[in-house]
Amino acid sequence: MNSAKRKVEICIISDIHLGTHACHAKELNRYLNSIEPNILIINGDWLDIWHFSVGYFPTEHVENIFLILDFARRGIPVYYITGNHDDSMRDFSGYRFDVLELRDEIILEIDGKKHWIFHGDKYDLSVGGSARWLAKLGGRYYDNIFRINRYINKIRMQQGKEEIFISKFIKDKIKSIVKSKVQDFEEVAIDIAIEEKYDYVICGHIHKPQIRTITKSNGSTTYLNSGDWVENLTALEYNNGKWDLFYYRHDLEFKGIDRTPRD
């Protein structure tokens, strides 16, 4: 073990989307190489099976798979929770390969608090049923848009300008069209968490890192979202009884302490 690695009790990452041009696998690999977690949880959309037909899977994506499997090889429990982009893996849910477990969701008791952890698409009507085809179509166009967006940002950074995120804006617009008349899955998850008396509910799916506590007439819960490794490059970390959001660009790449969520 590298003594320089930072100790993390629990690390949660999600929405990596290996197999797409949008994936920042190189940055994620650097982050994972910088930590030594007691537990690693991948909360959905690790593999973007929707895009496998494109045939894009560069070396850093392969390295990411082996890097995560190496955590398990060293005896670190790894939970792989399935998401909507890797939903075909749900046929194997419940399989356990020593310390690597494939699950649809998990409930963990951490320091006496109940944590309900799942990807989030389970209660998102915009990716199920008749809306599934639109979600897939949006995903394919989004990956192409991201490639253009990355090229534009490369030029802007050379000119000393800030990055812009056209891809995120268009993706949010696509999802808003589909979801305009359905209840937000977050609210459904929060209501269920309060009813079931879960202290924390942890999702991915919407690529929006956040931590917030919600109190209603029948109780309260804390909702967390681990963000993604497409736009935000974030992870959830648990240490000393507290959850925190880790922002790659500030906390590792720029070595700052700015944990302010990006718009």
Residue 140 lies inside a defined structural domain of this protein: no
* pTM (2 d.p.): 0.78
Residue 11 lies inside a defined structural domain of this protein: yes
Check which CATH number belongs to the domain holding 199 and give it.
3.60.21.10
Residue 167 lies inside a defined structural domain of this protein: no
Residue 131 lies inside a defined structural domain of this protein: no
Residues 6+ apart with CB under 8 A from 224: 200, 201, 202, 203, 210, 211, 236, 243
H/E run at residue 100: strand 100-103
Question: How many CB atoms sit inside 10 A of residue 156's CB?
Answer: 13
Residue 155 lies inside a defined structural domain of this protein: no
What percent of the chain is predicted at pLDDT more than 90?
A: 57
- Which of 50-54, 164-168, 235-239 is the least confident region? 164-168
Residues 6+ apart with CB under 8 A from 215: none
DSSP string, 180-192: TTS--HHHHHHHH
pLDDT value of position 123: 83
Report pLDDT digits (tens) over 91-121.
889 888 888 999 999 999 999 999 999 999 8
Residue 132 lies inside a defined structural domain of this protein: no
pLDDT value of position 124: 72
Rounded to an integer, what distance in angstroms lies between the CA atom of residue 97 and that of residue 146? 35
Residue 243 lies inside a defined structural domain of this protein: yes
Residues 6+ apart with CB under 8 A from 85: 17, 44, 45, 47, 48, 49, 50, 51, 139
Report pLDDT digits (tens) over 180-223.
433 478 988 999 999 999 999 999 998 999 999 999 999 999 99
Rounded to an integer, what distance in angstroms lies between the CA atom of residue 176 and that of residue 180? 5
pLDDT value of position 197: 97
pLDDT value of position 142: 58
179 vs 147, which has greater pLDDT? 147
pLDDT value of position 152: 75
pLDDT tops 90 at residue 229: yes
Q: Compute the mean pLDDT over every residue in the chain, rounded to the nearest whole number.
A: 84
Residue 83 lies inside a defined structural domain of this protein: yes
Report pLDDT digits (tens) over 124-167.
766 554 444 444 444 555 566 666 777 677 787 777 877 766 65
Rounded to an integer, what distance in angstroms lies between the CA atom of residue 53 and that of residue 144? 14
179 vs 238, which has greater pLDDT? 238
Question: How many CB atoms sit inside 10 A of residue 126's CB?
Answer: 23
Count of domains observed in the chain: 1
What percent of the chain is predicted at pLDDT more than 70?
A: 78
DSSP string, 22-58: T--HHHHHHHHHTEEEEEEEEES-SB-GGGGGG----
Domain that residue 224 falls in: 6-119+183-253
pLDDT value of position 234: 97
